[in-house]
């Protein structure tokens, strides 16, 4: 089997519901073989990634797509994830098995998804009233999710200008926001907090202490995430589990975070790590240190289900992120299986490869302006 062509389609979400409209994009990849078996994958949609994919594809034509180690060697960088995931799809289809079986079989058949619900800035509300957090929590419950995350890094929390510091009033407001969510979802439903690396060590510790009474699932990136010694200081100072890692791109970067045990939980991203092989390697490394994994995920159904296959085959997986509950057409990008997310869970497809069928008509509706469709 040989790669005959690699085609790319950049899909656009359209404006998110924010005060300043902002789009998010997915780069979808189709790898075409000489045996009439196509595979689909996904990676980030920054312009440098798209250009890198188009530049590298000629060096991959004629290669065996089932030789994943060589594909990883030839396609260096996080942009390779789209190609690598598509090659896993091809390998599964060639062998007649779903991807999770290629990673050793499942620890679980149902993959828990948690609803990343953002913060008021992302909801287009332009304010930080606790009542707005409560309203958002009710939406999550109504959609069947049994775990969620909220952001506590919105601009409204920096009234005197951004300087990584938090006043007592701001911390008290955050506590009121978290309490408003807890009052809706109850004490038992998992609730995580994301700070997107916005705060200083001292203020992150103060915030963590203030939130400990609310039984927080994890506190994500309370400080800029690349100073692991500082992150360890925060971790040691609070009972709340600390999560980090969504910006790291390989096992070599994760090694320092994991060996220092600077986080109780890590959030690798299969697109950022360059594909499923490296993604799996990172999670297995974490398992040695009894560190749990809650993978970061902002992908279309292609990347989400591909990631779910590896999560099924990984012992220390806890839950997978889902950002697009506000986009009813997100699931329409595939024809089957439907529903993809049911009451907050994905049931693994049993069809070969990733196990989904792309809805090209729906993808075509969302192609980025000026881009060709799988060109």
- Structural domain includes residue 250: yes
Segment 125-141 shows an average pLDDT of 84
User: Looking at the 3D structure of the chain, how many domains does it have?
Assistant: 2
Candidate ranges 13-27, 88-102, 160-174, 314-328; pick with highest mean pLDDT:
88-102
Q: What is the CATH number of the domain that holds 29?
A: 3.30.390.10
Q: Is residue 76 predicted with pLDDT exceeding 80?
A: no
Residues 179 and 45 in one domain: no
pLDDT classification of 269: cutoffs 50, 70, 90: very high
Residues 121 and 39 in one domain: no
Q: Is residue 155 predicted with pLDDT exceeding 90?
A: no
Handedness of CA 159, 22, 181, 194 (dihedral sign): negative
Q: Is residue 19 predicted with pLDDT exceeding 50?
A: no
Residues 286 and 310 in one domain: yes
Residues 177 and 89 in one domain: no
Q: What is the pLDDT of residue 17?
A: 54
- Structural domain includes residue 373: no
Q: How many CB atoms lie within 10 A of CB 240?
A: 23
- Structural domain includes residue 35: yes
d(C-alpha 278, C-alpha 250), whole Å: 7
Q: Percent of the chain beyond pLDDT 90? A: 74
- Structural domain includes residue 206: yes
Residues 141 and 177 in one domain: yes
The Cβ-side half-sphere exposure at 271, using a 13 Å CA radius, reads 21
For 26-66, the DSSP string reads: EEEEEEEETTS-EEEEEE---HHHHHHHHHHHHHHTTS-TT
Residues 9 and 42 in one domain: yes
Q: What is the pLDDT of residue 98?
A: 99
Q: Is residue 63 predicted with pLDDT exceeding 80?
A: yes
Residues 56 and 198 in one domain: no
pLDDT classification of 129: cutoffs 50, 70, 90: confident
- Structural domain includes residue 167: yes
How distant, in Å, are the alpha carbons of 11, 78, 164, 235 from that of 274? 19, 4, 31, 28
Scanning the chain, the segments in alpha helix (DSSP H) are 47-60, 68-74, 81-95, 99-102, 120-123, 130-142, 168-185, 201-211, 228-236, 251-259, 276-288, 301-312, 360-365
Residues 327 and 188 in one domain: yes
Question: ∠148-154-159 over CA atoms, to 5°?
Answer: 145
Beta bridge partners of 353: 98
- Structural domain includes residue 26: yes
Q: What is the pLDDT of residue 160?
A: 52
Q: Is residue 136 predicted with pLDDT exceeding 60?
A: yes
Residues 252 and 315 in one domain: yes
Residues 158 and 258 in one domain: yes
Quick: pLDDT tens for 346-367. 999 999 999 999 999 999 998 8
- Structural domain includes residue 370: no
- Structural domain includes residue 372: no
- pTM, two decimal places: 0.94
Residues 80 and 181 in one domain: no
Beta bridge partners of 275: none
Residues 149 and 281 in one domain: yes
d(C-alpha 148, C-alpha 50), whole Å: 32
The interaxial angle of helices 168-185 and 130-142, nearest 10 deg, is 30
Structural domain for 42, as ranges: 3-96+358-365
> Under a CB-based contact definition with an 8 Å cutoff, are residues 372 and 107 in contact?
no
Q: What is the CATH number of the domain that holds 196?
A: 3.20.20.120
């Amino acid at each position: 089997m040989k790669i005959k062509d690699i085609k790319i389609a950049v899909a656009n979400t359209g404006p998110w519901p924010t005060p300043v409209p902002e789009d998010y994009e997915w780069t979808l990849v189709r790898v075409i073989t000489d045996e009439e078996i196509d595979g689909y994958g996904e990676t980030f949609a920054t312009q440098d990634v798209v250009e890198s994919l188009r530049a590298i594809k000629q060096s991959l034509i004629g290669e065996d797509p089932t030789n994943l180690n060589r594909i990883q060697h030839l396609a260096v960088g996080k942009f390779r994830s789209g190609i690598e995931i598509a090659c896993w799809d091809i390998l599964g289809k060639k062998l007649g098995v779903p991807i999770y079986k290629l990673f050793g079989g499942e620890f679980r058949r149902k993959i828990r998804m948690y609803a990343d619900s953002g913060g008021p800035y992302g909801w287009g509300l332009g304010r930080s009233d606790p009542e707005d957090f409560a309203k958002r929590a009710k939406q999550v419950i109504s959609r069947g999710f049994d775990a969620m995350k909220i952001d506590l890094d919105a601009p409204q929390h920096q009234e005197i200008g951004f300087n990584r510091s938090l006043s007592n009033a701001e911390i008290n407001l955050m506590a009121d926001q978290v309490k408003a969510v807890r009052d809706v979802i109850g004490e038992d439903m998992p609730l995580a907090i994301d700070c997107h690396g916005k705060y200083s060590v001292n203020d992150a510790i103060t915030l963590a202490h203030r939130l400990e009474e609310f039984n927080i699932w994890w506190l994500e990136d309370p400080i800029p995430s690349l100073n692991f010694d500082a992150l360890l200081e925060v971790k040691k100072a609070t009972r709340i589990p600390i999560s980090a890692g969504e910006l790291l791109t390989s096992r070599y970067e994760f090694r320092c975070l994991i060996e220092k045990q600077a986080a109780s939980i890590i959030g690798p991203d299969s697109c950022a790590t360059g594909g499923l092989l490296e993604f799996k390697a990172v999670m297995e490394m974490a398992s040695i240190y009894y560190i749990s994994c809650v993978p970061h995920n902002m992908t279309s159904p292609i990347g989400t289900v591909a990631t779910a296959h590896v999560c099924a085959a990984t012992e220390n997986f806890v839950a997978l992120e889902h950002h697009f509950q506000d986009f009813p057409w997100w699931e329409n990008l595939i024809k089957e299986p439907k529903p993809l997310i049911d009451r907050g869970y994905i049931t693994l497809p049993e069809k070969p490869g990733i196990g989904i069928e792309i809805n090209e008509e729906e993808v075509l509706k969302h192609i980025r302006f000026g881009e060709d469709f799988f060109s």
